[in-house]
Amino acid sequence: MKQHEVPPLRYCKGIGEKREKLLHKLGIYTGKDLLFHFPRDYQDWRTIADPPQLLAPEKTAFAGKITGIQSRRARNRKIHIIKVLLQREHLYLPVIFFNQQYLSNIFAPGKILIVYGKIDRGRYGLEMSQIESWELLERVEDIPERAAIQPVYPLTNGLTQHIMRKIIRNAFREYREQITEYLPSAFQESFNIDSLSETLQKIHFPSSEKDIQSGRFSMKIREALFPVLYWEMKKQQTIHQPYSISYNTELDPLRDFIRNLPFSLTHAQKRVLQEIKDDLFAHLPMRRLLQGDVGSGKTIVAFISALFAIYSNQKACFMVPTEILALQHFKNLTRIIQQQGLENKIRPITLLGSLSANEKKKVRRQIAQNEYNFIIGTHALFQEKVDFPDLAYVIIDEQHRFGVAQRGNLIEKGHNPDVLIMTATPIPRTLTMTLYGDLKVSILDELPPGRQKVHTRLVGQNNTGKLLAFCRSYLKENGQIYVVCPLIEESEKLELKAATRAFEEYKEHFHPYSCGLLHGKMNTKEKQEIMEAVAENKIQVLISTTVIEVGVDVPNANFMIIEHPERFGLSQLHQLRGRIGRGSERGYCFLKIQGNNSQETLQRLQVLEKTTNGFEISHYDLEFRGPGEFTGTRQHGFLDFQFLDLATNLPLISKVRHAIADLLTKDPSLNKQENQPLKQEFVRKYEDQLKYLNVE
């Protein structure tokens, strides 16, 4: 909701200029925005209607008159304690607040205080010291009004639950009439969900647990609705766009190319190539997602599939996230072309952002004049004024690093070209349905023969000496090591080992072996020189940031240390681990944890010790970290879910998809009167992405 559509927040009841600034920190800019600031939890205050039977240990709400207040410092002088004695009929309860000295100016004898927290057995009897929220009343007679399930909202410093509840109550009274329903009535009936206004009331002011469940279910449907609608519309419009690309049916040159490779394709690679071929010869635009675990051979499948276009006298382009990877692909493809004597048939070139203006201009001219037919590059492929005559085939590697808009910009370079999207981060089926709903899916679920699993272990600070000794013995056997750090330079806020400091430390540890440093702030030439030195074994220990996450392939490097693994998602750690064990030798990956880590963090990292299956890991990541690990920040807005759980709500998403498909079959452009509110809300939510949909 934009600020100019309704009066500023400061004019809402209970909000002044100071609170307005605090609410802006929470992404709240209008009174109506307040209604969509949802509780993260609930507290049951219904027990305060009558004096409760206090038990320990138990969470409860208690209301009583303040009969005494003590304010003092603890013996160590670092903690300030306020002790409030509450009386309710025959019950007395000491309530203790820590380091909240300002409360002594708010609490006063005779006022009524409601507290919610855990009852503990203290030195002199029952007390409450783990207070989660509180509220002041003037009269005992006001207690029954608060005897309800109370929402617990996300806050920022300067706001309390008491203030936020009051603000949202006021906003609901003032703006409820402005809440307009956008779902068609038939859609509401088919899912048996409440109107939007009723849903918001149940979420903010539930009278029972049933209300909470009902409100949350309604919001799950509504959250699933728009990404599913986007991709279903995209799928339909892709199918109905003009398509004039034709491929030669003579496949002998492709068979010769495959036969002359220095290795045999796996059954999974052959199956995926057949799926791509079927799409290309179906005379409809291909939109296919190729998922494959690290090392499963996606790149060679991409190279071979591009030959359908190149052998049909058309162009293919291959967009990758880093220049290191683009140069590596170019080098590997050029080697295969030279081995097979196909220099005149397959003519690759790179287009990179780091090229000078004159170099870019020259490459663009050569592409426009058909001197090259396979263009490999990074963002420069769509950011520069590149003319792609006869562009028939587009490959996008690691799609989640680009996003919807960038993918759309590249595809627009051709006249509805065929598109293959690849990812080495296996995506759970639920997320595939919501994020890539317009794509068919192929899966490489087989590793090349002889590939060994990487041995992974967590290593604590106490075992650092043993780890370094193991490293030195490995280096003596002519091995190479990667050390991955999450930061380039020291951070004052995060006590993490930076790559620059780690470089100095490991140089000292591993003398006389050669150490190198690689990070994203280096220019492309520097990065390439470092990686070539690693490939030639002139550098035995490479200290790097996550710039090596994708595509770096040095078969002799089978040993990796990851500093501060808790800073990474599981899928990212799995990607990093995929840089080793790419030959016939066994790989070793050590997750070097430091300091105190929660049990949840250790449990999450132990997943990597138990499995090397990327799909299993991605499922854990979806549960632990949510969809952001797979989508990247560039997908922001598509999957901002607060209620929908992609790890467990697949049946619900499937049901929404079927309902949307049925709706679009009857009204493809949502032009019927009953669908107009849905269309307007869709346009409002996805206005930045609609240039890739024909939505008027």
Q: What is the pLDDT of residues 128-183, one digit of tens each?
A: 988 888 988 888 888 888 889 999 999 998 898 889 999 999 999 988 888 899 99
- 8 Å CB contact between 52 and 62: yes
Tokens standing for 289?
A: 């997602």
Least confident range of 4-13, 267-276, 519-528: 4-13
Q: What is the 3-state secondary structure (H, E, C) of 320-363?
A: CCCHHHHHHHHHHHHHHHHHHCCCCCCCEEEECCCCCHHHHHHH
pLDDT (mean) for 234-256? 78
**Average pLDDT rounded to a whole number, residues 294-299:** 86
pLDDT at 2: 43
Give backbone dihedrals phi and psi of 682, rounded to 5 degrees, phi first: -60, -45
Is 374:392 a contact under the CB 8 Å cutoff?
no
Question: Which amino acid, residue 555?
Answer: P
The C-alpha atoms of residue 404 and residue 638 are separated, in whole angstroms, by: 10
- The rounded distance, in Å, linking the Cα atoms of 643 and 590 is 36
Identity (one letter) of the amino acid at 307?
L
**For residue 405, what pLDDT is reported?**
58
Q: Residue 6 pLDDT > 80, yes or no?
A: no
- 293/501 Cα distance (integer angstroms): 32
614: nearest Cα among 639, 578, 650: 578
**Per-residue DSSP letter, 572:** H
Using the predicted structure, report yes or no on whether residue 34 has a pLDDT greater than 90. Answer: yes
Q: How many angstroms separate the CA atoms of 624 and 605, rounded?
A: 11
CA distances from 440 to 236, 238, 646 (A): 13, 12, 19
pLDDT of residue 318: 94
378 closest CA partner among 276, 243, 520, 261: 520
**Token pair in block for residue 42:** 């609930």
Q: Which pLDDT does position 633 carry in this prediction?
A: 36
C-alpha neighbours within 13 Å on the C-beta side of residue 31? 23
Q: For tokens 């287009």, what's the residue?
A: 351
Q: Looking at per-residue confidence, does 618 or 215 come out higher? A: 215
The pLDDT confidence band at residue 4, using thresholds 50, 70 and 90, is very low
pLDDT digits (tens, 9 = 90+) for 374-422: 999 987 777 657 777 788 999 988 755 555 555 666 677 667 889 998 8
Structure tokens at 204: 């903010």
On average, the pLDDT of the chain sits at 84
pLDDT at 301 over 80: yes
Which two three-digit tokens encode residue 691? 């240039």
CA dist 629 and 548 (Å) reads 17
- 537 Cβ neighbours under 8 A, 6+ residues apart: 478, 480, 556
Measured CA to CA, the distance from residue 625 to residue 619 in angstroms comes to 10
pLDDT number for residue 689: 63
Q: Which two three-digit tokens encode residue 231? A: 């991709």
In degrees and rounded to multiples of 5, residue 636 shows phi and psi of -55, 135
* 675 vs 422: CA distance, rounded Å: 35
pLDDT reported for residue 675:
93
Using an 8 Å Cβ cutoff, are 345 and 311 in contact? yes
Determine the pLDDT at residue 1.
Answer: 42
Domains and CATH numbers, the chain: 3-40+176-204 (no CATH), 43-152 (2.40.50.140), 252-444 (3.40.50.300), 455-611 (3.40.50.300)
Q: What is the structure's pLDDT at 341? A: 94
Tens-digit pLDDT profile for residues 633-690: 344 455 668 898 876 787 898 899 889 989 998 998 899 999 999 999 988 887 766 6
pLDDT the model gives residue 551: 56
The stretch 531-546 carries a mean pLDDT of: 89
- Residue 609's pLDDT is 92
3 state DSSP class of 123:
coil
DSSP 8-state code for residue 447: P
Of the two residues 628 and 640, the one the predictor is more confident about is 640
Residue given tokens 């020291």 in the structure block: 490
Higher pLDDT, 598 or 194: 194
Helix (H) or strand (E) holding 84, with range, is strand 80-88
pLDDT, position 214:
96
Tell me the pLDDT tens digit for each residue of 498-528. 778 888 888 888 889 999 998 878 887 888 8
Least Cα distance to 562 among 589, 598, 595 occurs for 589
688 vs 594, more confident: 594
C-alpha closest to that of 245 among 308, 324, 155, 328: 308
Model confidence pLDDT, tens digit, residues 92-108: 899 999 888 888 888 99
